[in-house]
Every structure is written in structure tokens, then in C-alpha cells.
Chains A and B, each alone.
Chain A
Amino acid sequence: MREKENSFKVLEAKWEAGLPPELERRVSSQTTNFTVFGRVVELFMPNALQAVAHIIGGAADDDGPQGVLSPGRRPEPEEWPDWRTPPGKI
């Protein structure tokens, strides 16, 4: 004996058939744009951030990407300024 079809499913199939095919192209072009944008950000963002850090006076990490910025130099102990007041100058 044939089982009766669920009319909700029949209705769903009817509505599904009305899906416009050009919608896939619209969604896929939008998702492709997002992917490309994401890759561009991924590629250029680290260097851009480093450049900003450099501009505001930061130094590049030795372990970071090479050839972008010169590594910072820690001053030798003899170069450290001595802020103590010399004796007899009070």
C-alpha cells in the first residue's frame, strides 16, 4: 500500500523549485570577494602593523620578518645616563 505523502513536504518541494539559479552566482561572487579581502588583509596586515609600530617609535623584534625594519639596539652599560647628583653639588 502506498503511504500518503506529507503535504508539508510537497509544499516545500514546490517552493524549493522556485529557487532562482542566478542566486548561486550572487552568493558565490560575494563569498569570493570576502575570501580575497581576507587573504589581502592576511598578507599585508603584519607588515602594515610593523610599519605603524616603527613610525610611533617601536623597534622590530629580532625574531620577526627580516628585511622590513632594522632590529633595535640596546645601549651598552657605559652609555646608560647617570642621573645621580654628584657629591658636594647640593
Chain B
Amino acid sequence: MTEVATSLKPVVKPTDNELIAWFLADQNPDHFTLLYRRYAGKVFAKCISMLSDEGLARDAVQDIFIKVYLNLARFNEKSSFSTWLYSITYNFCIDLIRRKKKIPVLLSDDVGRIGDEPVPEVPDSVLLEMKHERLERVLAELPEGDRIILLMKYMDEMSIRDIAEFFQKTESAIKMQIMRAKHKAQVVYDSIYAHDPIES
């Protein structure tokens, strides 16, 4: 009878915050594994897009989740868990690129610097409706800063306010940076696919 009652109980998927609270209460690694299963793919996708190397991305995912595991008690629920996790991911990859290339990644300093030259407005649909193989190629050609900001806006669908908070810039500076990044993407697209501008 109890078994039947149990089997009839609707299966409720615990929220991220519930899983975190349970994990912090009993330190049961199973709760953390559930969080891992929920987000590992997305974190891996971000690492691949930023590092362009599968081996590095694999190691990065492992290190990011260990970092999250050790710092979970510091998660304060001000933002959603996914936003917190993705900002750890972006910061981790930016540091990795910096150390690997031994050059400063054009990010916080670059984002928000508004030039004088006007940038033509590129509609979102140009990027959103691009064939994914072409988009992958275009993203790979873009500077890290532009790539990251486009991923945040269109892949993670982060709000302008959250992106501005991440870069510690004003919302208008971020809007301008997105406009510039879209324009650069359009220029890269035109240079690569000049011979075949219309996707077949």
C-alpha cells in the first residue's frame, strides 16, 4: 500500500536553491552531483566557446565545479545559481586565456570604452538566424571580449543589468559594446562568406 502511495506521488524536481540548502545541511555529495548534471553541459559549452580546445575545456569544467563545491556556502542567492555559476565560468576562462597567452584579455577595460565613430545597427536576427556552423566560425574569429558579451546576451540570455554587473560597467556602455560586437560579427561574416552570402 505504501509502495503504491509512493509511486503515485508526483515527482517534483528540486530547485537549485533547495539542492544547495540540502547540500550545505548534510554535505551529501549526491546533491552536488544533481547540480553538476543540471549544469555541466552548459558550462562545458561555454568553456569550448571561449577556449576553443576540448581538452582544456574538460579540465576547466572539472576545476570550475570543484571551485563551486568549495565556495557553495558563499552563494548568497542575490542572483540565480546559474548566473553565479556562469560568472565563475567566464572569470575562470578569462584567467586561463590571460595566463596562456600572457597578454591581457581585452575585457573589463575594453568593455565600456565608447569610441567616437558611429556603429551601424545590426538586427539581432542576423546573428540569431545564422547557420550554426557559420556562427561557430564567426565567433571563433571575434576577439574574446566581443565573443563573451555576445554569448552572455544571446546564449545565456542574461539581462543587460546582469552583464553590466559582471563587467562593472554602466548599462549604456554594455548596450554600446553589444552593438559593436554585433557589427564586428557582421564584418567577419562578410569577409568569410563574401562568395556565398546567402545561406543555402
Contacts and interface: CB of A to CB of B under 8 A. Distances in A.
**Interface SS, B side:** helix
Contact of B155 (A9, A17, A38): A9
Interface residues of B, number: 35
A11 B70 CA distance: 30
A35 B26 CA distance: 10
Interface stretch (A26-34, A51-59, A61-69): A26-34
Contacts, number: 85
Contact of B36 (A4, A12, A28, A35): A28
Interface residues of A, number: 27
B129 A7 contact: yes
A23 B154 contact: no
Contacts of A18: 44, 48, 54
**Interface SS, A side:** helix
Nearest to A9: B155
Q: Identify the 3 closest CB pairs spanning chains A and B, nearest first.
A: A16-B41, A15-B45, A8-B154
30 contacts: A4-B128, A7-B127, A7-B128, A7-B129, A7-B130, A8-B128, A8-B151, A8-B155, A9-B155, A11-B136, A15-B48, A16-B41, A16-B45, A18-B44, A19-B41, A20-B58, A23-B44, A23-B58, A23-B61, A24-B36, A24-B37, A26-B62, A27-B40, A27-B65, A28-B33, A30-B62, A31-B32, A31-B65, A31-B66, A35-B27
Interface of B: 27, 29, 32-33, 36-37, 40-42, 44-45, 48-49, 54, 58, 61-62, 65-66, 69-70, 125, 127-132, 135-136, 139, 150-151, 154-155
